[in-house]
Amino acid sequence: MLRYLNSCSRGRGAWLLMAFTAFALEMVALYFQHVMMLKPCVMCIYERCALFGIMGAGLVGAIAPKTPLRWVAILLWIYSAWEGVRLSWEHTMIQLHPNPFVTCDFAARFPDWLPLDKWLPSVFVASGDCAERSWTLLTLSMPQWLVGIFAAYLLVALLVLIAQPFRPKKRDLFSR
């Protein structure tokens, strides 16, 4: 399995699939926001940024999968997935255990050199309450689903990282 994951990480298809899945999740988030009129909170915006990081990692990996740029993509993937797990877990705890002393910020804080909320306010401006459970599927709220989604991204990323030293076997027509 590790050899297979190594060979997948050296091709564009797996990287593009990862970028596409993150893009699809972003489109679902925008559907919830603009069609279903669910207001994203600050934690939702930060989780959205983690998904953009995973999408970016997929695109970076697809650019040159057989070069050292693949390592940059893997590290960005792991970091983004880890942050996504951390943020969605924190968001889940805010929803499951509401506390007036533990709340999220009123607005997302982006660095001065990357003011995403000013560049693209329809995607990165928060207007909801982190403790509100406005949507559920099979009794799980959005952040609970995101914990599982980001954990799956992280697990696969770590397996791909572990698989990097395992070179694919050279296949020969006459070998066994």
Please report where in the chains the tokens 């740029």 appear, as a residue: 69
Give which of 112, 138, 141, 115 is closest to 41, Cα–Cα: 141
CATH class of the domain comprising 1-102+115-164: mainly alpha
Average pLDDT of the chain? 86
Over residues 149-174, the mean pLDDT reads 81
At 59 the three-state DSSP class reads: helix
Residue 104 is a catalytic residue: yes
Contact criterion met (CB below 8 Å) for 61 and 15: yes
Which listed residue (12, 41, 109, 133) is catalytic?
A: 41
Tell me what percent of the residues of the chain surpass a pLDDT of 70: 94
Contact criterion met (CB below 8 Å) for 19 and 58: yes
Please tell me the predicted confidence (pLDDT) of residue 115: 82
Beta carbons within 10 angstroms of residue 25's beta carbon: 19
51 versus 141: the higher-pLDDT residue is: 51
Please tell me the predicted confidence (pLDDT) of residue 176: 53
Please tell me the predicted confidence (pLDDT) of residue 20: 95
Domain boundaries, the chain: 1-102+115-164
- pLDDT tens for residues 18-37? 999 999 999 999 999 889 88
For helices 12-34 and 142-163, what crossing angle results, to 10°? 170
**Single-letter residue type at 21:** T
Please tell me the predicted confidence (pLDDT) of residue 174: 58
Over residues 162-166, the mean pLDDT reads 80
Please, is 80 exposed, middle or buried when counting C-beta atoms within 10 Å of its C-beta (0-12, 13-18, 19+)?
A: buried
Which listed residue (48, 49, 70, 167) is catalytic?
A: 48
Please tell me the predicted confidence (pLDDT) of residue 168: 65
- pLDDT tens for residues 67-113? 888 899 999 999 999 999 999 999 898 888 877 776 777 777 888 88
Residue 49 is a catalytic residue: no
State how far the Cα of 114 lies from the Cα of 111, in Å rounded to an integer. Answer: 5
Which listed residue (8, 86, 104, 109) is catalytic?
A: 104
Instruction: Examine the pLDDT at 137 and tell me if it is beyond 70.
Output: yes
Statement: the pTM of the whole predicted model exceeds 0.75: yes
Residue 8 is a catalytic residue: no
